[in-house]
A and B are shown apart, each in its own frame.
Chain A
């Protein structure tokens, strides 16, 4: 289940989208989220869907893989669809079945909202699937750069994010080890009433916290020894590289906006 879930995962690859500058991709996604709301009729939503499929195609992510990985999201999608279908009471009555009545407007709304939801999930998934977390962090750091002027600790935030990302697997491993150690002592997390299970988590969390603090202390020492003094006067090893494809992606987005505006009812 967890292995198949692709929300927030990065799959290395070699496509135009993979090679794009993370700044361009982040900007693209944010602008796209806003642009989606321009569409308000069948034409608009058809264009959005087509555009999204084009982006997925360019990223060389197999559609089947994407759909399969987003299954839990689809449950939510179907739920919202039916919510709109049954509770919108405008337009002509299409059919009724007992107490269930489906109106034309409900069907329209249901489909539109579902498409909107779908394209948003697809586009954000393409971002996270094609961009390593560390590149996303880099991108965010540069994009938020101007906010340093209003004393937003951008560098520190980015560093915090990248260190957290780096320690996730380490702490996961550790959790596994502690779990086994506690199980060997007779602790049982997998069964029993809820209250017992929650209680059994405590002896798991405490050693995890203690060790996380120890790690943090060690890491701080190691960083200080290696000359870390905050963001001031630092240079960057990982360089971002804005290319033609990045500019073109934003031009494409402008084209999409224009098209949506043109067909808008």
Chain B
């Protein structure tokens, strides 16, 4: 069942700059993503995350190395084929809403791909129910919250029944409530459809939910592993300007203060559980 859905092989990319040579935005990066995985791509500002996302869907082509998506190498010929199976959601909820109403926006990719009307109606309905926005189908974008707009954007991607969904900081402009909504939506989707998800974020709480984390630093891949493995390198992450999840910072501080906690905790719930146990023992 484990088949490769996307891979980077020694990919290097440098933006053209008028004022002399610049450091590559992405330097010699390799990784491979299997079907059904949830990957988080983290890194500080300017570490090359968005550039990687753009290389994944052919908005940019590598200077060196190979990008393979769904077994095909990304090129001018395979571009549109790949894009029709690859959904992408961006950071700014307002700047990716094309349609006049929610349902028009969800249908946009379907229209572009020439899907017949009857099928479109069905797919739009299906996608909106997947993100729980059916009741808003006639709403105009300026009457929606940021979180709702992002859910519509996800529905717009889902309508094409993609094999892979990429979220480029899709939650970073949202308030905590909106962020929760979007993360919950992704989690539910993963449970019901097993969709492969790559979420780019610098929120490590969000990254902790993924199965595997890839850490970028100055255009290079710095670390790769399960959240537990990556977060155990606490000081390395903070040196790169990343914050540990709140629960982990709390655990460390408690341990320093002499509270004998046994484990590293990535989520608040688990930490609270152990604290209760600790409290009842004490």
Interface residues of B in 107-122 (CB under 8 A from A): 107-117, 120-121
**Chain B interface, >50% SS class:** helix
B114: chain A residues at CB < 8 Å are 233-235
B98: chain A residues at CB < 8 Å are 163, 166, 219, 222-223, 226
| Binary B-proximity of A114-150 (CB < 8 A = 1, otherwise 0) | 0000000000000000001110000000000000000
Complex Cα spacing A42 to B160, Å:
61
Complex Cα spacing A214 to B208, Å:
31
- Contact in complex: B100, A237 (CB < 8 Å): no
Interface residues of B in 54-68 (CB under 8 A from A): 57, 59
A173 on interface, CB distance cutoff 8 Å? yes
- Contact in complex: A226, B112 (CB < 8 Å): yes
- Contact in complex: B124, A237 (CB < 8 Å): yes
Complex Cα spacing A222 to B87, Å:
10
Closest CB of chain B to A236's CB: distance in Å?
6
- Contact in complex: B100, A165 (CB < 8 Å): yes
Complex Cα spacing A233 to B115, Å:
9
A90: chain B residues at CB < 8 Å are none
Complex Cα spacing A173 to B142, Å:
9
Partner of A219, one of B84, B95, B124: B95
A218: chain B residues at CB < 8 Å are 90, 92, 95-96
Partner of B108, one of A132, A133, A215, A226: A226
A1 on interface, CB distance cutoff 8 Å? no
Number of A-B contacts (CB under 8 A): 89
Closest CB of chain A to B274's CB: distance in Å?
43
B99: chain A residues at CB < 8 Å are 166
Closest CB of chain B to A145's CB: distance in Å?
16
Interface residues of A in 217-237 (CB under 8 A from B): 218-219, 221-229, 233-237
B117: chain A residues at CB < 8 Å are 235-237, 239
How many residues of chain A have a CB within 8 Å of chain B?
A: 30
* Closest A residue, CB atoms, query B153: A222
Complex Cα spacing A110 to B140, Å:
44
Partner of A227, one of B59, B84, B116: B84
- Contact in complex: B141, A237 (CB < 8 Å): no
* Closest B residue, CB atoms, query A166: B100
Closest CB of chain A to B175's CB: distance in Å?
16
A134: chain B residues at CB < 8 Å are 100-101, 104
Partner of B80, one of A163, A214, A229, A235: A229
Partner of A225, one of B83, B94, B104, B121: B83
B43 on interface, CB distance cutoff 8 Å? no
Which residues from chain B sit less than 8 Å from chain A, CB to CB?
57, 59, 80, 83-84, 88, 90, 92, 94-101, 103-104, 107-117, 120-121, 124, 140-142, 156-157, 160
Which residues from chain A sit less than 8 Å from chain B, CB to CB?
132-134, 162-163, 165-166, 169-170, 173, 214-215, 218-219, 221-229, 233-239
**A–B pairs, 26, beta carbons within 8 Å:** A166-B98, A166-B140, A169-B142, A215-B94, A218-B96, A222-B95, A224-B59, A225-B59, A225-B83, A226-B83, A226-B88, A227-B84, A227-B109, A227-B160, A228-B112, A234-B111, A234-B114, A235-B111, A235-B115, A235-B120, A236-B111, A236-B117, A237-B104, A237-B117, A237-B120, A238-B104
